[in-house]
Structure 1
Amino acid sequence: MTVEQLHPRLVVSDADAAISFYAAAFGAELLERYTDGSGRVVHALLRAGPAVWAVKDADDVDQAPTGAGAVILALYVDDPDAVAAAMVTGGGRVVFEVADHSYGDRAGRIADPYGHVWMVAARNEELDPEQIQQRTATAYP
């Protein structure tokens, strides 16, 4: 078996608004968009750089999250501060401010207006796995 692609499918309350939000916040490009007979988005595929994800409107089978979900989407970018600011401008909510972390990343968490939490980050220090483990154990005893 060969895995060809893995991407998240985000269920949201308003897919077209989410597509606009992700375009403004991440520079996402809409690759595909399909609707059912009532115009509800059943699948939209987005890309920002090498990252690919799908969005769909909630329905009776797939429910949109009502709070912070169990999945945190990690998005590595060149400027996490700018991306976090764009997300907040678009209606996102800061969960954790963007800051430098001992494990070598500058990162923060932003909840988008549709209930999904994004960790926006950039690597700001090259560390080997042993250094990351030592620093993490010290920072989070």
Structure 2
Amino acid sequence: MADIFQITPKLVVGDGAAALAFYTEALGATVEESYTIDGRIVHAALTVGELRFELKDAGDGDPAPTKGLHPPVLMSLGVTDADAVTDRLLAAGATVVYPVADQEYGARGGRVADPFGHHWMVSAPLESLSPDEVQARLDAMS
């Protein structure tokens, strides 16, 4: 599938700032990106060596893990055509959580739930924005 270029796990946490500090200290992670709305982290990307993972604060339908239960993980799927990949996921049995649309942060994307309950965020870049431009657009949304 040449139109898929990455799969990135996204952890949902109860305290994003504390999680960034923990992963930085415990794993030597580097915070590559971190964006907030009203003080909540809505997206952060970290790297450990050549590996990348993402995290966000709980909210917007994404619960943080409850101790003793299975933790929620969002899969972030970078693609060249969000509509085509989402259509394939839907045809295979996924359901729409958020429809594909042009997003303020410079991407076209949406979210589907697979038949097993995992959520897949499908996103294709529309424009190249600096981190400051992304944050300014998110600030304008709140």
With the length of structure 1 as denominator, give the TM-score of the two structures.
Answer: 0.52
Distance 1:121 1:136 in 2: 17
Partner secondary structure for residue 125 of structure 1? coil
Report the Cα offset of residue 100 of structure 1. 0.4
Residue 12 of structure 1 aligns with which residue?
none
Does the C-alpha gap of structure 1 residues 119 and 50 become closer, same or farther in structure 2, counting only changes over 3 Å?
A: closer
Instruction: Give the structure with the larger strand fraction.
Output: 2
Does the C-alpha gap of structure 1 residues 130 and 110 become closer, same or farther in structure 2, counting only changes over 3 Å?
A: same
Question: What is the aligned counterpart of 2:86 among 59, 84, 103?
Answer: 84
Report the Cα offset of residue 71 of structure 1. 1.6
Contact 2:82 2:122 in 1 (8 A): yes
Taking only aligned residues, the RMSD between alpha carbons, in angstroms, comes to 2.4
Q: Which runs of 5+ in 2 are unaligned?
A: 10-69
Which amino acid counterpart does residue 92 of structure 1 have in structure 2? A
Residue 117 of structure 2 aligns with which residue?
115
Contact 2:103 2:109 in 1 (8 A): yes
| Structure number with higher relative contact order (C-alpha < 8 Å, ≥ 6 residues apart) | 2
Percent identity, aligned pairs only? 41
Residue 72 of structure 1 aligns with which residue?
74
Say whether residues 1:125 and 2:124 are aligned partners: no
Residue 99 of structure 1 aligns with which residue?
101
Partner secondary structure for residue 80 of structure 2? coil
Contact 2:105 2:134 in 1 (8 A): yes
Distance 1:121 1:85 in 2: 13
Greater gyration radius: 1
Residue 138 of structure 1 aligns with which residue?
140
Distance 1:123 1:103 in 2: 9
Which amino acid counterpart does residue 89 of structure 1 have in structure 2? A
Report the Cα offset of residue 50 of structure 1. 5.2
Q: Deviations along 1:28-82, whole A, 9 cap, x unmatched?
A: 9xxxxxxxxxxxxxxxxxxx655489xxxxxxxxxxx7xxx72211010111101
Q: Which runs of 5+ in 1 are unaligned?
A: 1-26, 29-47, 54-64
Contact 2:5 2:78 in 1 (8 A): no
Does the C-alpha gap of structure 1 residues 52 and 100 become closer, same or farther in structure 2, counting only changes over 3 Å?
A: closer
- Give the 4+ runs in structure 1 shifted more than 2 A: 48-53
Partner secondary structure for residue 104 of structure 2? coil
Q: How many positions carry a matched residue from both structures?
A: 81
